[in-house]
Amino acid sequence: MKRVVVTGMGAITPLGNNLQEYWLGLKNGVSGSGMITRFNTEKFKTKFACEVKNYDSTKYFDRKEANKLDLYSQFAMIAADEAIADSGMELDSIDKDRVGVLWSSGIGGLYTFYDAIKGFVLGDGTPRFSPFFIPKMIGNIASGSISIKHGFRGPNFATVSACASSTHSLIDAVNYIRLGKADIFISGGSEAAINEPGIGGFNAMMAMSTNNEEYMTASRPFDLTRDGFVMGEGAGALIVEDYDHAKSRGAKVYAELVGTGMTADAFHLTAPHPEGLGATNVMKLAINDALLKPEDIDYINVHGTATPLGDVSEIKAILNVFGEHAYDLNISATKSMTGHLLGAAGAIEAICTILATINDIVPPTINFKTPDPAIDQKLNLTINKAQKRKINAAISNTFGFGGHNASIVIKKANL
């Protein structure tokens, strides 16, 4: 099968509105959390989130175009444009029939849906829906919008698996290129759910932190006092390319995508398997697919949402897969900084893992104070400060409601 590499990246996140700012925030252990500015949180249990800062749509879109795009699609377009520019693609010379877009969102156009329904319910009952209501809301429209803007006519669809969505989109891109179905994919994910139904819905599930007094440090994976995830928003985009195609056009190569794994817990709608069965299996599959051994892995960017059950389950899975080598790994949960970007989490965390591999720097798990007896404290959780180490191969994990698990193995570009 064909080899698959990453030749471009773009990001808009709570840590910065481009790739460089994002990496700087990760290295420096910056918290992206703040009090919610998007709506009045007076009656909500959670009053904080990791919002994209200083966002002004007019910097990226004219007013007419912005009105046709939900916020999640705006984030998608911004990250994709940065990744395309970063890749050095000559859009006039590539075969656009061989360029696809695989894009993910766990929720899609929640802003658009909420605003339209609110307007109808509060009105006089006359259906005055915008003609853009449906195309702004649906979860596949970001992939369509990216392809329309740039004329990419290859495979194009949306992959949805809750918080594992954009890792699944990357895996799909890898597999289609391996099979020769396309030369290039713009792949990633975007999410924009920091609004009343997004915050209220996750509050009702008791999945999200309500630590309003310590909101800057509320996302605290592995800590005994963790009480749920912190909502994030934004997008991450990767240019996933056939190695031979990248080589022929003289592209720079960030990293090689060498192994993928996909499993299901088959256990519960929202809770992880208590012994980490699905997470164990998915990492084993990804490592085997990469033709590596567990001891070849240097770093794991864990799902690490700071939920009481999820963190323990993932650590059990790591111990199951790696045994004694688990104590030689660096492990970090970068959601401690970015918050949880839901369907976009896999994309921005794959980008983080690639940048860690390039720079031989492991971003930290911040906000850790109190050890949890249920989590082995001999593990190197990269607590509170980035660490230098040689990284040849790394894993990025994402797990979603419904028991969806996805892992991807990233290898240093020794090509």
By three-state DSSP, how is residue 377 classified? coil
Specify the CATH number for the domain of residue 291: 3.40.47.10
How is residue 202 annotated by DSSP? H
For tokens 């997004």, the residue is: 198
Q: How many domains, the chain?
A: 2
* pLDDT for the residue 332: 98
Note whether residue 60 is domain-resident.
yes
What CA–CA distance (Å, rounded) separates 16 from 209?
Answer: 23
One domain for residues 82 and 215: yes
pLDDT, mean of residues 377-392: 98
For residue 114, pLDDT beyond 70 = yes
* pLDDT for the residue 414: 82
One domain for residues 217 and 286: no
Find residue 16's DSSP bridge partners. Answer: 13
pLDDT, mean of residues 394-414: 97
| Share of the chain residues as helix, strand and coil, in percent rounded to the nearest 5 | 40, 20, 40
What CA–CA distance (Å, rounded) separates 23 from 26?
Answer: 5
Sign of CA dihedral 303, 306, 307, 310: positive
- The 10s digit of each residue's pLDDT in 337-371 is 999 999 999 999 999 999 999 999 999 999 999 99
One domain for residues 270 and 216: no
For residue 326, give the nearest of 255, 392, 395 by alpha carbon: 395
* pLDDT for the residue 175: 98
One domain for residues 157 and 203: yes
By three-state DSSP, how is residue 342 classified? helix
Outline where DSSP puts E strands in 217-305: 234-242, 255-264, 299-301
Q: Which of 248, 269, 287 is the last residue of a domain?
A: 248
One domain for residues 296 and 167: no
Catalytic residues: 163, 303, 340
Do strands 99-104 and 156-158 pair parallel, antiparallel, or not at all (unpaired)?
A: parallel
One domain for residues 13 and 149: yes
Length in residues, the chain: 415
One domain for residues 50 and 178: yes
pLDDT, mean of residues 232-242: 98
- The 10s digit of each residue's pLDDT in 246-279 is 999 999 999 999 999 999 999 999 999 999 999 9
Residues whose CB falls within 8 Å of the CB of residue 93, separated by 6 or more in sequence, listed in order: none
Q: The domain containing residue 402 runs over which residues?
A: 260-412
What CA–CA distance (Å, rounded) separates 277 from 15?
Answer: 33
Tokens matching residue 242: 């056939």
One domain for residues 319 and 348: yes
- The 10s digit of each residue's pLDDT in 188-213 is 999 999 999 999 999 999 999 999 99
Note whether residue 255 is domain-resident.
no
One domain for residues 52 and 98: yes
One domain for residues 192 and 272: no
Residue 159 pLDDT grade (very low, low, confident, very high; cuts 50, 70, 90): very high
* pLDDT for the residue 225: 98
Outline where DSSP puts E strands in 192-284: 234-242, 255-264
Percent of the chain clearing pLDDT 70 (strictly above): 100
pLDDT, mean of residues 80-97: 97
For residue 364, give the nearest of 325, 330, 409, 316 by alpha carbon: 330
Residue 218 pLDDT grade (very low, low, confident, very high; cuts 50, 70, 90): very high
* pLDDT for the residue 405: 98
Q: Which of 227, 248, 269 is the last residue of a domain?
A: 248
User: Are the C-beta atoms of residues 402 and 162 closer than 8 Å to each other?
Assistant: yes
How is residue 225 annotated by DSSP? T
One domain for residues 312 and 407: yes
* pLDDT for the residue 415: 66
One domain for residues 267 and 212: no
For tokens 């940065």, the residue is: 82
- The 10s digit of each residue's pLDDT in 286-326 is 999 999 999 999 999 999 999 999 999 999 999 999 999 99
Mean pLDDT for all residues in the chain: 97
Tokens matching residue 286: 């990804």
How is residue 305 annotated by DSSP? -
